[in-house]
Amino acid sequence: MTDLRMDELAAGLSTTRERLDAACAAAGRTTDEVDLVVVTKFHPVDDVIRLARLGVRDVGENRVQEAAAKVADLEAAEPDLAAAIRWNMVGNIQSNKATAVAGWADKVHSVHSVKVANGLDRGRARRAEERGDTDAAPLPVLLQLSLDADTSRGGVARKDLPALADHVAGLENLTLAGLMVVPPLEGEAAEHFADAAQVADEFRRAHPGAVEFSAGMSGDIEAAIAAGSTCVRVGTAIMGPRPVV
Protein backbone atom coordinates (compact mmCIF):
# COMPACT_ATOMS: atom_id res chain seq x y z
CA MET A 1 0.00 0.00 0.00
CA THR A 2 2.35 2.68 -1.25
CA ASP A 3 0.15 5.45 -2.55
CA LEU A 4 -0.48 9.18 -2.37
CA ARG A 5 -2.51 8.83 0.81
CA MET A 6 0.42 7.04 2.45
CA ASP A 7 2.63 10.03 1.55
CA GLU A 8 0.04 12.44 2.95
CA LEU A 9 -0.17 10.59 6.25
CA ALA A 10 3.62 10.29 6.50
CA ALA A 11 3.91 14.06 5.96
CA GLY A 12 1.21 14.80 8.56
CA LEU A 13 2.94 12.53 11.07
CA SER A 14 6.32 14.10 10.52
CA THR A 15 5.03 17.68 10.82
CA THR A 16 3.17 16.72 13.99
CA ARG A 17 6.22 15.01 15.49
CA GLU A 18 8.26 18.15 14.75
CA ARG A 19 5.64 20.22 16.57
CA LEU A 20 5.79 17.79 19.51
CA ASP A 21 9.59 17.98 19.63
CA ALA A 22 9.57 21.78 19.50
CA ALA A 23 6.81 22.09 22.12
CA CYS A 24 8.63 19.69 24.47
CA ALA A 25 11.92 21.52 23.98
CA ALA A 26 10.22 24.86 24.67
CA ALA A 27 8.70 23.43 27.87
CA GLY A 28 11.99 21.89 29.01
CA ARG A 29 10.54 18.40 28.59
CA THR A 30 11.60 15.39 26.54
CA THR A 31 9.48 14.08 23.69
CA ASP A 32 9.25 10.60 25.20
CA GLU A 33 7.16 12.09 28.03
CA VAL A 34 4.31 12.67 25.59
CA ASP A 35 2.35 9.93 23.80
CA LEU A 36 0.81 10.63 20.41
CA VAL A 37 -2.62 9.12 19.78
CA VAL A 38 -3.69 9.48 16.15
CA VAL A 39 -7.45 10.06 16.05
CA THR A 40 -8.90 8.33 12.97
CA LYS A 41 -12.63 8.96 13.44
CA PHE A 42 -14.53 9.32 10.14
CA HIS A 43 -11.52 7.93 8.24
CA PRO A 44 -11.59 4.40 6.81
CA VAL A 45 -9.81 1.32 8.16
CA ASP A 46 -7.38 1.52 5.21
CA ASP A 47 -5.98 4.65 6.84
CA VAL A 48 -5.44 2.74 10.08
CA ILE A 49 -3.55 0.12 8.08
CA ARG A 50 -1.41 2.85 6.49
CA LEU A 51 -0.72 4.42 9.89
CA ALA A 52 0.24 1.03 11.35
CA ARG A 53 2.68 0.51 8.45
CA LEU A 54 4.13 3.94 9.23
CA GLY A 55 4.82 2.77 12.77
CA VAL A 56 1.83 4.28 14.60
CA ARG A 57 0.68 2.16 17.54
CA ASP A 58 -1.87 4.36 19.36
CA VAL A 59 -5.05 5.00 17.42
CA GLY A 60 -8.01 6.97 18.78
CA GLU A 61 -11.73 6.72 18.01
CA ASN A 62 -14.65 8.71 19.36
CA ARG A 63 -17.70 6.90 18.03
CA VAL A 64 -18.59 3.50 19.44
CA GLN A 65 -20.13 1.86 16.39
CA GLU A 66 -17.56 3.14 13.94
CA ALA A 67 -14.75 1.98 16.20
CA ALA A 68 -16.12 -1.52 16.74
CA ALA A 69 -16.52 -1.99 12.98
CA LYS A 70 -12.97 -0.76 12.29
CA VAL A 71 -11.47 -3.00 14.94
CA ALA A 72 -13.23 -6.03 13.42
CA ASP A 73 -12.27 -5.05 9.86
CA LEU A 74 -8.62 -4.55 10.78
CA GLU A 75 -8.53 -7.89 12.59
CA ALA A 76 -9.95 -9.63 9.51
CA ALA A 77 -7.76 -7.84 6.94
CA GLU A 78 -4.42 -7.57 8.76
CA PRO A 79 -4.24 -9.71 11.91
CA ASP A 80 -0.54 -8.98 12.48
CA LEU A 81 -0.99 -5.21 12.27
CA ALA A 82 -4.15 -5.48 14.38
CA ALA A 83 -2.17 -7.11 17.16
CA ALA A 84 0.20 -4.14 17.25
CA ILE A 85 -2.48 -1.43 17.44
CA ARG A 86 -3.67 -0.01 20.76
CA TRP A 87 -7.22 1.33 20.45
CA ASN A 88 -7.95 4.44 22.50
CA MET A 89 -11.58 5.43 23.09
CA VAL A 90 -11.59 9.23 23.38
CA GLY A 91 -15.25 10.10 22.78
CA ASN A 92 -18.35 10.36 24.88
CA ILE A 93 -19.71 6.96 25.98
CA GLN A 94 -23.39 6.35 26.68
CA SER A 95 -23.70 4.11 29.71
CA ASN A 96 -25.55 1.41 27.77
CA LYS A 97 -22.60 1.16 25.34
CA ALA A 98 -19.83 0.92 27.91
CA THR A 99 -19.78 -2.87 28.17
CA ALA A 100 -19.31 -3.14 24.40
CA VAL A 101 -16.49 -0.58 24.41
CA ALA A 102 -14.54 -2.76 26.85
CA GLY A 103 -14.67 -5.51 24.22
CA TRP A 104 -12.20 -3.69 21.94
CA ALA A 105 -10.65 -0.70 23.74
CA ASP A 106 -7.10 -0.91 25.09
CA LYS A 107 -7.47 2.40 26.92
CA VAL A 108 -10.46 4.67 27.59
CA HIS A 109 -9.86 8.44 28.00
CA SER A 110 -13.44 9.51 28.48
CA VAL A 111 -15.00 8.01 31.61
CA HIS A 112 -17.50 10.49 33.02
CA SER A 113 -19.84 8.53 35.27
CA VAL A 114 -20.13 5.63 37.68
CA LYS A 115 -22.45 3.88 35.23
CA VAL A 116 -19.90 4.06 32.42
CA ALA A 117 -17.15 2.85 34.76
CA ASN A 118 -19.28 -0.08 35.93
CA GLY A 119 -20.14 -1.01 32.35
CA LEU A 120 -16.47 -0.98 31.34
CA ASP A 121 -15.60 -3.06 34.40
CA ARG A 122 -18.23 -5.67 33.52
CA GLY A 123 -17.22 -5.66 29.86
CA ARG A 124 -13.58 -6.17 30.71
CA ALA A 125 -14.43 -9.15 32.93
CA ARG A 126 -16.61 -10.60 30.18
CA ARG A 127 -13.85 -10.21 27.61
CA ALA A 128 -11.33 -11.99 29.83
CA GLU A 129 -13.84 -14.80 30.39
CA GLU A 130 -14.55 -15.16 26.66
CA ARG A 131 -10.84 -15.35 25.93
CA GLY A 132 -10.20 -17.76 28.76
CA ASP A 133 -7.67 -15.24 30.03
CA THR A 134 -7.49 -15.86 33.78
CA ASP A 135 -4.96 -13.12 34.56
CA ALA A 136 -6.01 -10.43 32.08
CA ALA A 137 -4.60 -6.97 32.80
CA PRO A 138 -7.14 -4.38 33.97
CA LEU A 139 -8.29 -1.79 31.43
CA PRO A 140 -6.53 1.58 31.92
CA VAL A 141 -9.03 4.43 32.08
CA LEU A 142 -8.83 8.20 32.42
CA LEU A 143 -11.58 10.38 33.84
CA GLN A 144 -12.68 13.20 31.55
CA LEU A 145 -12.85 16.47 33.43
CA SER A 146 -15.49 19.00 32.41
CA LEU A 147 -14.02 22.41 33.24
CA ASP A 148 -17.13 24.46 32.62
CA ALA A 149 -19.49 21.86 34.10
CA ASP A 150 -21.31 21.83 30.75
CA THR A 151 -21.34 18.06 30.84
CA SER A 152 -23.27 17.86 27.57
CA ARG A 153 -19.84 17.96 25.92
CA GLY A 154 -18.75 15.03 28.04
CA GLY A 155 -16.81 14.84 31.25
CA VAL A 156 -17.48 14.94 34.95
CA ALA A 157 -17.88 18.21 36.87
CA ARG A 158 -14.93 19.10 39.09
CA LYS A 159 -16.98 18.69 42.28
CA ASP A 160 -17.94 15.12 41.32
CA LEU A 161 -14.43 14.06 40.30
CA PRO A 162 -13.12 12.81 43.68
CA ALA A 163 -16.07 10.48 44.25
CA LEU A 164 -15.86 9.08 40.72
CA ALA A 165 -12.10 8.55 41.09
CA ASP A 166 -12.57 6.67 44.36
CA HIS A 167 -15.23 4.51 42.77
CA VAL A 168 -13.08 3.65 39.72
CA ALA A 169 -10.07 2.93 41.93
CA GLY A 170 -12.15 0.28 43.67
CA LEU A 171 -13.14 -1.59 40.51
CA GLU A 172 -11.34 -4.87 39.93
CA ASN A 173 -11.05 -4.78 36.16
CA LEU A 174 -10.09 -1.12 35.65
CA THR A 175 -6.92 0.83 36.46
CA LEU A 176 -7.26 4.54 37.18
CA ALA A 177 -4.59 5.96 34.85
CA GLY A 178 -5.23 9.70 34.97
CA LEU A 179 -7.25 12.64 33.75
CA MET A 180 -8.36 13.82 30.31
CA VAL A 181 -9.61 17.23 29.24
CA VAL A 182 -11.16 18.84 26.18
CA PRO A 183 -10.97 22.61 26.69
CA PRO A 184 -14.28 24.51 26.61
CA LEU A 185 -14.88 26.46 23.39
CA GLU A 186 -15.01 29.76 25.26
CA GLY A 187 -11.77 31.29 26.47
CA GLU A 188 -8.08 30.55 25.98
CA ALA A 189 -6.98 26.92 25.66
CA ALA A 190 -3.76 27.70 27.58
CA GLU A 191 -5.74 28.92 30.59
CA HIS A 192 -8.03 25.91 30.51
CA PHE A 193 -5.05 23.54 30.34
CA ALA A 194 -3.36 25.29 33.27
CA ASP A 195 -6.60 24.99 35.21
CA ALA A 196 -6.91 21.29 34.36
CA ALA A 197 -3.24 20.69 35.23
CA GLN A 198 -3.91 22.02 38.71
CA VAL A 199 -6.83 19.64 39.12
CA ALA A 200 -4.59 16.84 37.82
CA ASP A 201 -1.98 17.65 40.49
CA GLU A 202 -4.54 17.42 43.29
CA PHE A 203 -5.92 14.28 41.73
CA ARG A 204 -2.47 12.62 41.79
CA ARG A 205 -2.11 13.36 45.48
CA ALA A 206 -5.15 11.19 46.16
CA HIS A 207 -4.30 8.63 43.43
CA PRO A 208 -0.51 8.52 42.98
CA GLY A 209 -0.71 5.94 40.18
CA ALA A 210 -2.95 8.13 38.03
CA VAL A 211 -0.08 9.97 36.32
CA GLU A 212 -1.51 10.45 32.84
CA PHE A 213 -2.83 13.81 31.65
CA SER A 214 -4.45 13.53 28.22
CA ALA A 215 -4.70 17.03 26.75
CA GLY A 216 -4.07 18.64 23.40
CA MET A 217 -5.51 18.27 19.89
CA SER A 218 -4.41 19.54 16.45
CA GLY A 219 -4.98 23.20 17.30
CA ASP A 220 -3.49 23.34 20.77
CA ILE A 221 -0.67 20.77 21.10
CA GLU A 222 1.80 23.44 22.21
CA ALA A 223 -0.40 24.92 24.94
CA ALA A 224 -1.21 21.44 26.27
CA ILE A 225 2.43 20.35 26.42
CA ALA A 226 3.39 23.57 28.18
CA ALA A 227 0.78 22.70 30.83
CA GLY A 228 2.14 19.17 31.34
CA SER A 229 0.17 16.98 28.92
CA THR A 230 1.42 13.38 28.76
CA CYS A 231 -0.73 12.49 25.77
CA VAL A 232 -1.94 14.48 22.78
CA ARG A 233 -4.85 13.25 20.65
CA VAL A 234 -4.30 14.45 17.11
CA GLY A 235 -6.72 14.01 14.21
CA THR A 236 -6.91 16.74 11.57
CA ALA A 237 -3.22 17.74 11.60
CA ILE A 238 -2.30 14.19 10.53
CA MET A 239 -5.38 12.83 8.76
CA GLY A 240 -6.50 16.01 7.00
CA PRO A 241 -10.09 17.26 7.19
CA ARG A 242 -12.69 14.71 8.27
CA PRO A 243 -14.86 13.53 5.38
CA VAL A 244 -18.34 15.01 5.47
CA VAL A 245 -20.96 12.34 6.21
Report the interface residues with ligand PLP, using CB under 6 A: 39, 41, 62, 90-91, 182, 217-219, 233-237
Strands (E), 121-223: 139-146, 156-157, 174-181, 212-214
Nearer to ligand PLP among residue 78 and residue 212 (C-beta) = 212
Min dist CB 130 to ligand PLP, Å, is 28
Phi, psi angles (nearest 5°) of residue 168: -60, -40
Min dist CB 48 to ligand PLP, Å, is 15
* 8 A C-beta contact, residue 59 and residue 233: no
Min dist CB 125 to ligand PLP, Å, is 26
Nearer to ligand PLP among residue 177 and residue 237 (C-beta) = 237
Nearer to ligand PLP among residue 13 and residue 128 (C-beta) = 13
Nearer to ligand PLP among residue 59 and residue 85 (C-beta) = 59
Cα separation, 175 vs 14, whole angstroms? 32
Min dist CB 96 to ligand PLP, Å, is 20
Contacts of 209 (CB under 8 A, 6+ apart): 175, 176, 177
Q: By beta-carbon distance, which residue lies closest to ligand PLP?
A: 235
What per-residue string of b and e applies to 76-86 under the rule 16 or more CB within 10 Å gives b?
eebeeebeebe
